[in-house]
Structure 1
Amino acid sequence: MKLARWRIHDMVEEGLAIDERLVPFTDGVRVQDLLDWGLPRALEYGEAAASEPSRPLADVTLLPPLKPPAIRDFVAFEEHVEGVVRSVDSSTGVVPQWYEAPTFYFSNPHTLIGTGQALTPPATARLDFELEVAAVVGHVAGSEGRSLAPEEAQQNIFGYAIFNDWSARDLQSREMQVRLGPCKGKDFASTLGPWITTADEVEDRLDAEGFLDLLMTVSVNGTEIGRDTLANMGWPFRDLLAYASRDSRIFPGDLLGSGTAGSGCLAELWGRAGALTPPPLATGDEVTMTVERLGTVTNVVGEPKPAPAIPAARMRKQRTSA
Structure 2
Amino acid sequence: MKLARIKTSETDERLALVGENSVRLIEDVSIDDLVAIAMKRDPSSLNLGRELSFQDIRFLSPLRRPVSIRDFSAFEAHTKNVMEGGGGTMNPDWYQFPIFYFSNPNCVIGNRDEVAPPRSTKALDFELEVACVVGAPMRDVTEDAKDWASSIAGFMLMNDWSARDLGAREMKLLFGPAKAKDFATSFGPWLVTPDEFEISDGRFDLPLTARVNDEVWSNGNVSELHFNWAQILARASADATLYPGDVIGSGTCGSGCILELRVTKGRDKHPWLKAGDVVELSAPGLGTLSNRVVAP
Do the structures match in fold with TM over 0.5? yes
CA distance in 2, matches of 1:222, 1:37: 34
Deviation (angstroms), 1:62: 1.2
8 Å Cα contact 2:27-2:49 kept in structure 1: no
Quick one: which of 265, 269, 276 aligns to 2:257? 265
Does residue 1:5 correspond to 2:9, yes or no?
no
Summarize the Cα distance change of 1:211–1:258 in structure 2 as closer, same or farther, 3 Å threshold: same
1:115-194, aligned counterparts within 5 Å? 115-123=111-119, 124-140=121-137, 145-149=138-142, 150-194=145-189
Show CA shifts across 1:153-207 (max 9, x none): 33212210000000000011111111111101012001100100111111x2x22
Task: Tell me the equivalent position of 2:83.
Answer: 85
Task: Tell me the equivalent position of 2:25.
Answer: 24
CA distance in 2, matches of 1:43, 1:37: 7
SS of 2:289 mapped into structure 1: strand
Task: Tell me the equivalent position of 1:310.
Answer: none
Does residue 1:103 correspond to 2:99, yes or no?
yes
Quick one: which of 258, 261, 271 aligns to 1:279? 271
Deviation (angstroms), 1:36: 3.8
SS of 1:213 mapped into structure 2: coil
* Structure 1 stretch displaced more, 183-192 or 149-158: 149-158
Aligned partner of 1:95: which letter? N
SS of 1:54 mapped into structure 2: strand
Quick one: which of 204, 215, 221 aligns to 2:207? 215
Task: Tell me the equivalent position of 2:52.
Answer: 55
Task: Tell me the equivalent position of 2:15.
Answer: 14
* Structure 1 stretch displaced more, 293-302 or 19-28: 19-28
Which structure would you say has the larger Rg? 1
Summarize the Cα distance change of 1:230–1:125 in structure 2 as closer, same or farther, 3 Å threshold: same
CA distance in 2, matches of 1:135, 1:238: 12
Aligned partner of 1:68: which letter? P
Unaligned runs of 5+ in 2: none
Quick one: which of 70, 73, 80 aligns to 1:72? 70
Task: Tell me the equivalent position of 2:286.
Answer: 294
Aligned partner of 1:56: which letter? S
Aligned partner of 2:221: which letter? T
CA distance in 1, matches of 2:95, 2:114: 36
Show CA shifts across 1:6-25 (max 9, x none): 22221221221222222232
Show CA shifts across 1:130-150 (max 9, x none): 00000111123xxxx221223
CA distance in 2, matches of 1:243, 1:211: 16
Task: Tell me the equivalent position of 1:235.
Answer: 227
Percent of aligned pairs with the same amino acid: 38
SS of 2:136 mapped into structure 1: coil
CA distance in 2, matches of 1:113, 1:161: 13
Does residue 1:198 correspond to 2:185, yes or no?
no
Aligned partner of 1:20: which letter? N
Cα RMSD after superposing both structures = 1.7
Question: What's the TM-score, normalizing by structure 2?
Answer: 0.93
Unaligned runs of 5+ in 1: 305-322
8 Å Cα contact 1:16-1:50 kept in structure 2: no
CA distance in 2, matches of 1:273, 1:179: 29
Show CA shifts across 1:95-148 (max 9, x none): 1111000000011111111111111111211000000000111123xxxx2212
CA distance in 1, matches of 2:37, 2:46: 15
Does residue 1:250 correspond to 2:248, yes or no?
no
CA distance in 2, matches of 1:250, 1:35: 14
Deviation (angstroms), 1:236: 1.3
